Amino acid sequence: MDSDFGAARELSDLQKLRSQYHPQLPPCLQGTTVRVEFGDATTAPDLADAHTISRFFPHTYGQPLAHFLRATAKVPNAQVITEHPAVRVGVVFCGRQSPGGHNVIWGLLDALKVHIPKSTLLGFLGGSEGLSAQKTLEITDDILATYKNQGGYDLLGRTKDQIRTTEQVTAALNACTDLKLDALVIIGGVTSNTDAAQLAETFAERKCPTKVVGIPVTLNGDLKNQFVESNVGFDTICKVNSQLISNVCTDALSAEKYYYFIRLMGRKASHVALECTLQSHPNMVILAEEVAASKLTLFDITKQICDAVQARAEQDKYHGVILLPEGLIESIPEVYALLQEIHRLLRKRVSADNISAQLSPWSSALFEFLPPFIKKQLLLHPESDDSAQLSQIETEKLLAHLVEAEMNKRLKEGTYKGKKFNAICHFFGYQARGSLPSKFDCDYAYVLGHISYHIIAAGLNGYMATVNNLKNHVNKWRCGAAPITAMLTVKRYGHGNGALTIGKPALHPATVDLKGRAYELLGQNATKFLMDDLYRNPGPLQFDGPGADAKAVTLCVEDQDYMGRIKKLQEYLDKVRSIVKPGCSQDVLKAALSAMSSVTDILSVMSSPMSANTPSKSVFPVLAATPHF
């Protein structure tokens, strides 16, 4: 099979056209000279975690931000990297495929060719397995020819495993050493970038000269924080899913007799479901974050849907479309508790057949109440990140089943007088994941690939490539790099008796911010969407003309330019320093002292690590483990 990797293949006419497309570079990356400006040393997003993180990552914690600027930028401290010795770089796809991944490799190769033509780029075959086994393919422009702007990870294949155990980490280190790699670029989501941070730390500790770089590529869109606005693949996934959801909405409105329950792939967080809702305006979406925040039970959710069905029936509407994120099931308190019990028993090697008898009375009652198909799915072994196998649990069927039962009950009792409730269930995930990437994802991935080269050239280790200002045109994108350690958080689990377990620092999936603008936008429209069938059809993914340059709604409504604002703050501080130079008037100094004392007081209070003393974080890590940025 390996011999097939990187093989040229026949492309369809549309694929050929797409392979001819060349993404634009933002001005800061154009030409052969790029400046690097280093910002202040970074800290952890939650100060309470800082000590733990610095203990786990002594070599890579606290490194400064890096900004890449055009050669002509007038920034006093920015360095121009002038030495470009030939480098050997390895690149590996980790975790689930996400549209656009191939373009990261293309961007990296192009940057290498521009700056150091003699360099070598090695792709690892089959992800982490290939890394351990040192199976590589040298990436050339010829090999990339039929993979540019194309979907999937089939150029190299992807990992089926993490890089986490001592054996795996050692194998990775040996591979980098044996292959004399100057850098290893890891393309993946939260789990893979946590691995990247760990590898970087281990390499630094063991004096392995290979620098590790992470690239945020995940269709879930949940690798989001101050530094990272969006992930490669999310845009495409949401567009393809929205196309299908819109088609189903049109279908519902034409047939007028079905409720469609659609579950969307996207792991624990509900970013995909929220974005698709804002693109296609289905009647209803139930976000995992809302359910967890309001502690809604399975029965609350069922009732909520039934009430909606009933309200629509009163307007003689017997159709509808309801979106459910795949993470929903874990966000329901009693189901989460049940899953935790099941997973604990599975880890104790209790066989699936015997689990039911060993559950707590409360969980056992819930478990016995559930229909057989879902019981079987809940009994599946958890994923490597300890979450349930979300893609295998048919929450849409469970809810359709419960809603049908409740509507039949209401019908019998005479509290509902409409027509019989009919549901059709769908799971949209795999059919979007292999799509041709959207223009946005092609551009974003290609630019990230370029940035990864500049991170390597600057000799940085344990950094993630970042682009800010994504909602604007490419020529306004700001490119940089942030230490992955500055994105890590620590989970604390209360055990009820005051005892506290502190987890290992990791990147945790960012959940939908219930105070954010995107969620607010949903709130403003929810009733209209529910009752008025304002279905919107963005149509199939286009590469030219209307819609081709559309960006995610959730990206555009949020004001995310954190990196820009950090720079702005630096400018203010510099300005104060330049105004209040020794020799300035007493009055100016006095004013400055007074104002600055007040600013520092306020900020000290705001950023004191109060939360470190109590396990204030929810017991549902789905939700609260990751702070909302």
Report 524-553 residues binding a second copy (CB under 8 A): 533-547, 550
Token reading at 259: 């409720």
In the region spanning residues 360 to 399, those forming contacts with a second copy, defined by CB under 8 A, are 372-373
Indicate the residue among 432 and 484 with the shorter CB distance to a second copy.
Answer: 432
Closest CA to 115 of 402, 404, 450, 508: 450
For a second copy, the binding residues in 416-475 under the rule CB under 8 A are 424, 426, 428, 430-436
Closer to a second copy by CB, 57 or 428: give it. Answer: 428
Which of 237, 623 has the CB closer to a second copy? 237
Q: How far is the CB of 199 from a second copy (least distance, A)?
A: 23
Nearest 5°: phi and psi at 161?
-145, 165
Alpha-carbon distance of 384 to 507, in angstroms, equals 14
Report d(CA 42, CA 289) in Å as an integer.
29
Which of 37, 46, 154, 275: binder of a second copy (CB under 8 A)? 154
* Chain centre to alpha carbon of residue 602: 32
| Nearest distance in Å: CB 540, a second copy | 4
Q: In the stretch 271-310, what mask flags binding to a second copy with x, by CB under 8 A?
A: ----------------------------------------
- Our CB check for a second copy shows the closer of 257 and 590 to be 257
Query: 478 Cβ partners below 8 Å, 6+ apart?
Result: 26, 28, 67, 467, 468, 469, 561, 563, 564
Among residue numbers 216 through 245, which ones bind a second copy (CB under 8 A)?
A: 240, 243-244
Contact letters (x/-) for a second copy, 183-222, by CB under 8 A?
----------------------------------------
Residues in contact with a second copy, shown as a per-residue x/- string from 104 to 143 under the rule CB under 8 A: ----------------------x-----------------
Q: What character string, x for contact with a second copy (CB under 8 A) and - otherwise, covers 245-264?
A: -xxxxxxxxxxxx--x----
Q: Which residues contact 507 (CB under 8 A, 6 or more apart)?
A: 190, 191, 193, 194, 197, 223, 484, 487, 488, 489
Q: Nearest approach, Cβ of 217 to a second copy (angstroms)?
A: 12
Give the tokens for residue 305.
Answer: 């849907």
CA distance 241 to 264: 8
Q: Is 14 in the site for a second copy (CB under 8 A)?
A: yes
By the rule CB under 8 A, 353 interacts with a second copy: no
For every residue of 540-606, DSSP letters joined together read S--SSSTTTT---HHHHHS---HHHHHHHHHHHHHHHHHHS-TT--HHHHHHHHHHHHHHHHHHHHH
Size of site (CB under 8 A) for a second copy: 72
Output DSSP code: residue 210. Answer: -
x/- mask, a second copy, residues 309-328, rule CB under 8 A, reads ------xxx-----------
Taking CB under 8 A as the criterion, the residue among 151, 462, 483, 505 binding a second copy is: 151
Nearest residue (CB) to a second copy, 290 versus 404: 404
- Cβ-contact 265, 219 below 8 angstroms: yes
Tell me the C-alpha distance between 301 and 402, whole Å. Answer: 10
Rounded least distance, CB 479 to a second copy, Å: 28
Structure tokens of 618? 């929810």
Nearest residue to 552 via CA among 218, 235, 266 = 235
Cβ 315 to a second copy shortest distance, Å:
7
